[in-house]
Amino acid sequence: MPRPYWKGYLKLSLVTCPVAMTPATSESEKIRFHTLNKNTGNRVVSQYVDSVTGKAVREDDDVRGYARGENDYVILSDEDLDAVALDTVRTIDIDKFVPADSIEWVYLEKPHFLMPDDPVGQEAFAVIRDAMAADKVVGVSKLVIGRRERAVVLEPRGHGIVLWTLRFGDEVRPEESYFDDIDDEADPDLVPLVQKLIKQKTSKWSPKMASDPIQDSLLALIAEKKKAMKPAKRQTKGKDQSAPKSNVINIMDALRKSVEADLKSRKGA
């Protein structure tokens, strides 16, 4: 199983459990090419160059700049950016639930698998998951990914939860702009003929339907060229990621306190 690239906490009112997240999709199997110098066979590397002096910039000297005018920037270091980090960097706090079928597919961007990261927190995770599944709802929350806070949706799926990042509202184009000029109804005499054709071509879904024939051809070509070459030595590198410190509280007490607090707030209102 691939190593999680994010670890933090899943929170619903007073119920908290440590979780780990990993992308549900992978592009590691795709063929990737390096740019080489054809005269030497060596890799070509890219580097940042100062636009005025023309000299290469060291990695330690890279900073981010916000343009406030021509050639005039407000400089922000990594420390500056870390200082304004939001709580959503480490916590997925579910503050809303919506019907599972109410979010249009076009808003769903990238799926991730969310799972408990500590045996102690599995019960809290399972209760949140099963409650959403029973009510046919999904949770809506926020999460910082790549220094940007993204809206996310948590969908119960089997024993786990699938977390979808959502596209920003201004990224989604209104379908009416493209579909309004299309005829409302098709020829009723032709529809049964197409239905018959659809029935003949209907089968069970298989991942093979989404295969990449170009990649298969490239793999065959690369295999032919590798026959005359010595196998390259593989080197593996990895960094250990320590799990976040658990702060799980008794789930029944947390649920009771959450319900009591909600009732008190309603009575006060």
Query: 3-state DSSP call for residue 27?
Result: coil
Contact status, residue 65 vs residue 73, Cβ threshold 8 Å: yes
Inform me whether the pLDDT recorded for 175 exceeds 90.
no
Given this model, what pLDDT does residue 97 score? Answer: 96
Given this model, what pLDDT does residue 244 score? Answer: 47
Give CA–CA dist 147/155, Å, rounded: 23
Neighbours of 218 (CB within 10 A): 14
Given this model, what pLDDT does residue 266 score? Answer: 67
Per domain, the residue ranges of the chain are 1-25+73-179+248-261
Least confident of 14-18, 38-42, 222-226, 238-242: 238-242
Inform me whether the pLDDT recorded for 129 exceeds 60.
yes
Going by C-alpha positions, the residue among 10, 87, 7, 8 that lies closest to residue 254 is 10
CA angle 150, 12, 243 (to 5 degrees): 75
As a whole number, mean pLDDT of residues 74-96 equals 76
Q: Hunting for tokens 């051809």 — which residue is that?
A: 217
Inform me whether the pLDDT recorded for 237 exceeds 60.
no
Query: 29: which DSSP letter?
Result: T
Going by C-alpha positions, the residue among 169, 218, 152 that lies closest to residue 8 is 152
Indicate the CATH number of 1-25+73-179+248-261 among 3.90.1150.10, 2.40.290.10, 3.40.50.300, 3.40.50.1100. Answer: 2.40.290.10
Strands 6-12 and 91-93: parallel
Query: 56: which DSSP letter?
Result: B
Given this model, what pLDDT does residue 73 score? Answer: 85
